[in-house]
Amino acid sequence: MQASSLRNSANRKNQKNSSCLGRKSAAVAREEMAMAKGVPESSIGRVESYKFIHKRKSGGRFRGPGKGCKTTLKKMKPVMQQNIALMEKNTSLEKKVDVLQASILENTAVLKAFMSQGRTSMPDVSSPCSSHARYTPSTPVLNEFIGKECDLRGGWPLRVVARGIVQDVDPTIEFGDRRLEEGNFKVYVNVIYDGTAALPLSHDAWKSKLGEIAQGSVIWPKELLMF
């Protein structure tokens, strides 16, 4: 025991920057600092932790880290400045994303309100040269599905790959390179879950996958829609 005590005493004399925590560990000290400041422990930096561990209880200055500290701090300064610049850039990007999300929600609401009014066909007017020329009032083509939100199923195995709003249900309507035809709906896609899903009824020779449409209209079989 005496030899061990003498050896420990000699080792303590060789220490240049001994801790001021006593028997308390550095991990416990960091946790107490975080609790006192009301922040996560991960937010306590190395410099702040060093100051706390090497500060005397009686007050005054903390024990310095030695000759190499100034060089280390000089090297860390550009990194700290870069981190501050990145934080400002991230904040700016977050604001832009919030603005874009608000714009998308607003446009979606306007589109939904517009589509919920249904679609009206053109009036049928007979030839003015005919002796039986007369005006036939138009008959509005309304459908319970127009303006409704729905999930689009596709891929294999069958799953929900997107979400959108029904725009049209008239099988004679032409969209892109084809007509809707019976049993198919024209849907405006505003959310895509799987961009690799193939389009069941491609209306554009250059687009075959859902991800190539982004936000836009597609022709989708009614049986693959979920309301």
Looking at the domain assignment, is residue 219 inside a domain? yes
Looking at the domain assignment, is residue 137 inside a domain? no
Looking at the domain assignment, is residue 169 inside a domain? yes
Tokens of 104: 């998308």
Least confident of 31-35, 104-108, 184-188: 104-108
Looking at the domain assignment, is residue 78 inside a domain? no
Most confident among 29-38, 46-55, 193-202 (mean pLDDT) = 193-202
Task: Render the burial of 131-164: b for 16+ CB within 10 Å, e for the rest.
Answer: eeeeeeeeeeeeeebbbbebbbbbeeeeebbbbb
Per cent of the chain over pLDDT 70 is 74
Looking at the domain assignment, is residue 94 inside a domain? no
Looking at the domain assignment, is residue 109 inside a domain? no
Q: Are 112 and 147 in contact (CB under 8 A)?
A: yes
- The domain boundary, picked from 47, 66, 85, lies at 66
The number of folded domains in the chain is 2
* Domain of residue 215, residue span: 142-226
Q: What was the pLDDT predicted at 108?
A: 76
- The domain boundary, picked from 40, 66, 92, lies at 66
Least confident of 137-146, 162-171, 174-183: 137-146
CATH number of 215's domain: 2.40.10
Tens of pLDDT, residue by residue over 83-134, are: 888 888 888 888 888 778 777 877 777 777 666 665 444 444 444 444 443 4
**In the predicted model, is pLDDT for residue 167 greater than 60?**
yes
For CA atoms 137, 143, 144, 147, the dihedral sign is negative
Q: Which residues pair with 174 in a beta bridge?
A: 179
Q: Are 168 and 185 in contact (CB under 8 A)?
A: yes
- The domain boundary, picked from 66, 101, 120, lies at 66
Q: How far apart are CA 32 and CA 161, in angstroms?
A: 49
Tokens of 189: 């896609």
The larger pLDDT score, comparing residue 56 to residue 164, is at 164
The chain-wide mean pLDDT, for the chain, equals 76
Q: How far apart are CA 161 and CA 152, in angstroms?
A: 6
Q: Assign 40 a pLDDT band (cuts: 50, 70, 90).
A: confident
Looking at the domain assignment, is residue 215 inside a domain? yes
Tens of pLDDT, residue by residue over 79-90, are: 777 888 888 888
The pTM assigned to this predicted structure is 0.40
Residue type, 168: D
Q: Assign 218 a pLDDT band (cuts: 50, 70, 90).
A: very high
Q: What is the DSSP string of 66-103?
A: -TTHHHHHHHHHHHHHHHHHHHHHHHHHHHHHHHHHHH
Q: How far apart are CA 218 and CA 123, in angstroms?
A: 27
Looking at the domain assignment, is residue 90 inside a domain? no
Q: How far apart are CA 31 and CA 201, in angstroms?
A: 60
Q: Assign 220 a pLDDT band (cuts: 50, 70, 90).
A: very high
Q: Assign 164 a pLDDT band (cuts: 50, 70, 90).
A: very high
